[in-house]
Amino acid sequence: MKIFIDSADVNEIKKYLSWGLCQGVTTNPTICLKCGVKGGLEGIKQRTIEIARLINPCPVSVEVASDKVEEVISQARECSKLAENVVIKITITDRQGNSLLPAVYQLAREGISINVTTMTTFNQAILAAIALRSGFEGAGQKPKYNFISIFAGRISEEQGVEQAFRVLKNFREWLDFHKFREIEIIVGSIRSPENVELWSRSGAHILTIPPEFIQKSLISARTKETVVQFINDAEKSINELEGKNQ
């Protein structure tokens, strides 16, 4: 299992790279806004290039700003040129619930890396996977990355965490059974450290985690108490040893 950082904050990304915990990054315009990116679409593009260079060869997912098929395709083609490790996030449907799989299929045929996102059901996930594979099997150049993002947090809010777990587990089993080895599952919309614990056992290939939940996942009162005891005991022992040597 891999961890992607759900952020556009370069300093945060650098920190988790130095910890060995960043194997990719996911962003969107809302995240960019929260992270202080300015300059509209051009500012997002520049931040994307900066992140892509920083984490290369790991992937950075960026979101198109349209839900119209032709515009999605046009924007995706443009964004894919920003860096070789850029992955284009495309929602499974538009705002009216109409399929955006035509865009997914066409872009996969062109060898563009796609992250089909905002999925909350098993059926959505398998249809997206089939569209992706149908596209890249006919591509002259197979995409480097092929992701399906399941928004487990949103599933759990409506149907409970166990249902989110089942969707993830069942989809992973389906991918394995049908030998969809080129496609990886990303778990999105993580809401708590408890989500990290449960969904890391679901069979998903990747968890995309906001930085605050990585930090919270490290916190344990009992661990802190034990570390304090260890350090205090070590200092006391060293002082006693030094006293004997004098």
Instruction: Say yes or no to pLDDT of 245 above 80.
Output: no
Instruction: Say yes or no to pLDDT of 220 above 90.
Output: no
What average pLDDT does the segment 157-171 reach? 95
Name the active-site residue from 89, 179, 224, 244: 89
What average pLDDT does the segment 129-140 reach? 90
Q: What is the pTM of this model?
A: 0.92
- Let me know if 89 is a catalytic residue: yes
What average pLDDT does the segment 127-145 reach? 90
What average pLDDT does the segment 70-84 reach? 97
What average pLDDT does the segment 40-63 reach? 96
Instruction: Say yes or no to pLDDT of 74 above 80.
Output: yes
The CATH H-level superfamily of 2-209 is: Aldolase class I (3.20.20.70)
Band (224; pLDDT cuts 50, 70, 90): confident
**Nearest one of 136, 127, 230, 215 to 182, comparing CA atoms:** 136
Give the residue extent of every domain in the chain.
2-209, 221-246
Instruction: Say yes or no to pLDDT of 241 above 90.
Output: no
Instruction: Say yes or no to pLDDT of 27 above 90.
Output: yes
Instruction: Say yes or no to pLDDT of 60 above 80.
Output: yes
Per-residue pLDDT, 221: 86
Cα 126 to chain centroid, rounded: 19
Mean pLDDT, all residues of the chain:
94
Per-residue pLDDT, 239: 86
Band (246; pLDDT cuts 50, 70, 90): low
Contact indicator for 175, 183 with CB cutoff of 8 Å: yes
What average pLDDT does the segment 102-113 reach? 96
